[in-house]
Every structure is written in structure tokens, then in C-alpha cells.
Amino acid sequence: MYTQVIAQAVEQSGATVVIFSNNTDGKAVAPRLSARLRAGLVAGAVALPDTSNGFVVKKSVFSGKAFANVNITTSVKIISLNPNAFKVEEGAGTAEVVELNATVDTPKVKVTAVKKQSGEVPLAEAEIVVSGGRGLKGPENWGILEDLAKELHAGLACSRPVADAHWRPHNEHVGQTGAP
Ligand SMILES: Cc1cc2nc3c(=O)[nH]c(=O)nc-3n(C[C@H](O)[C@H](O)[C@H](O)COP(=O)(O)OP(=O)(O)OC[C@H]3O[C@@H](n4cnc5c(N)ncnc54)[C@H](O)[C@@H]3O)c2cc1C
């Protein structure tokens, strides 16, 4: 549904660059929009595009171990920005809110439940992370880490086997295959 509406917004406004945040929503919608509009996508951008020779976007690759500069050559270009890659700065430009006529098909999926993230500090925003692994022996021992995380105002995390064993929720799993 989001993809459908954004695609219509792009077509009606004649937008040539579409920017997402590379968060859960952006990761879900940007590739769909890219396929629908046949528009080049760079996910996980860490710098503003260099337009001196094409439209070159720097992105992190191999779990942040290297960078790639990718040139988008399609007429509509989509980028998703890595969270915290940019500081919030007040710009001099002005923005206009425009009403669009969007049509939406009947949804093919229905949200039946919403699970809130656990932990007081969102993991992606945390400056300090307290993480536990299999050495803690079981979910009943996580109270020690919860207390420590609270004391340090830290995010609470776990290793993959811990999440796979349902000791902790999957949104707390960190590392290459987990949260950034
Ligand atoms: C390509 C690749 C990518 C991966 N990506 C990820 C990833 O993104 N995230 C991730 O979490 N994992 C990832 N893994 C898997 C990862 O290697 C392990 O599964 C993970 O690190 C397990 O960590 P753990 O601390 O839970 O358990 P373990 O590594 O088993 O560590 C448990 C530790 O506790 C100690 N211990 C046990 N009992 C006691 C005790 N009674 N007292 C004191 N110490 C004790 C053990 O000696 C051991 O050192 C990846 C693996 C590969 C190959």
C-alpha cells in the first residue's frame, strides 16, 4: 500500500529523487518502489550524492567494513540513508505540502498484532549496548543485564543463538545478521 501511494506521488509530482530512511520501513518499501518504478536504488547511503559526474552515492558494504560508490543511471533515483549517518541541521530551503490524489487497492495482508520493542533505549539509537550470550545459561538470568543496562542507560542486546532459542526477542539480536 505504501509503495502504491509513493509510486503515484512520484509520478504525479515528477520527482526524480526519492529518499527513504534505511530503517525497517525504508528497507521494506524502497526495494518495492524500485521494482515498481524500475528506478535504481542505493540502500544504506552514508553521504549525499556526488552529482559532479553522474549521480554517485556512497554506501557501506560488508557490514560496514568497506564503502562502495554506486552510480545510479535511471531517470528516477532512490536512496535510503543509514540512520545516524547525517546530523540534523536546519536548512535554508522551503518546503510545500501538496495534496495528491492516490488510489489504493484493497490490502492483500492484514496486521493482526503489533509487538512493541522491549528495552528502554532503542538499540539502533543506543550509545552503550549491554549484550548477553549463551554463557548466561537461560532467560531467567537476564535480570542482571537488564539492571546493568538500566544503570548505564544502555540498549539491551543478545547474540543470535539467544534469539533463536527464544530467550530474548529477535529485535535484540545484534551483529552482522542482526540489528546494526
Ligand atoms: C558469517 C557469520 C555471521 C554471524 N553473524 C552473527 C551475528 O550477526 N550475530 C551473532 O550473534 N552471531 C553471529 N554469528 C554466530 C556467532 O559466531 C555465534 O553464534 C555467537 O557469537 C554465539 O555467541 P554466544 O556468546 O551466545 O555463545 P558462545 O559463543 O557459545 O559463547 C558462550 C561463552 O560462555 C562461556 N560459558 C559457558 N558457560 C559458562 C559458565 N558457566 N561460566 C562462565 N562462562 C561460561 C563459554 O565458554 C563461551 O565462551 C555469525 C556466524 C557466522 C559464521
What is the per-residue DSSP string for 2-15? HHHHHHHHHHHHT-
Q: At what angle do helices 24-37 and 2-13 cross, to 10 degrees?
A: 60
Task: Provide the percentage of residues in the chain whose pLDDT is more than 70.
Answer: 96
Q: Please give the number of the atom of ligand 1 that sits closest to the Cα of 174.
A: 9
Pinpoint the alpha helices (H) of the chain.
2-13, 24-37, 143-152, 160-164
Q: Dihedral of the CA atoms 59, 61, 63, 66 (nearest 10)?
A: -90
* Ranges for all domains in the chain classified under CATH 3.40.50.620: 2-81
pLDDT for the residue numbered 85: 81
Predicted confidence (pLDDT) per residue in 53-79, tens digit:
999 999 989 878 899 999 999 999 999
What the block records as the C-alpha cell of 112 is 493482526
Check pocket membership of 93 for ligand 1, CB cut-off 6 A: no
Residue 29: is its pLDDT beyond 90? yes
pTM over 0.75: no
pLDDT at site 179: 66
The CA 133 to ligand 1 mean position distance, Å, reads 6
Q: What is the pLDDT of residue 180?
A: 57
Residues of the chain with CATH 3.40.50.1220: 123-172
The architecture of the domain spanning 123-172 is 3-Layer(aba) Sandwich (3.40)
Which residues have CB under 8 Å from 163's CB, separation 6+? 169, 170, 172, 173, 178
**Coil, strand or helix at 179:** strand
| 122 within ligand 1 shell (Cβ under 6 A) | no
Q: How far is the CA of 46 from the centre of ligand 1 (A)?
A: 30
Cα of 8 from ligand 1 centre, angstroms: 46
Ligand 1 centroid–CA 150 distance in Å is 23
Number of other residues whose CB lies within 10 A of the CB of residue 147: 11
Residue 24 has pLDDT above 80, yes or no: yes
Residue range 130-137: average pLDDT?
96
65-122 pLDDT, tens digit per residue, is 899 999 999 999 999 998 888 888 888 989 888 888 888 888 888 889 987 766 678 7
Fold that domain 2-81 belongs to in CATH: Rossmann fold (3.40.50)
**Ligand 1 near 180 CB (within 6 A):** no
Whole-angstrom distance between the N-terminal and C-terminal Cα of the chain? 27
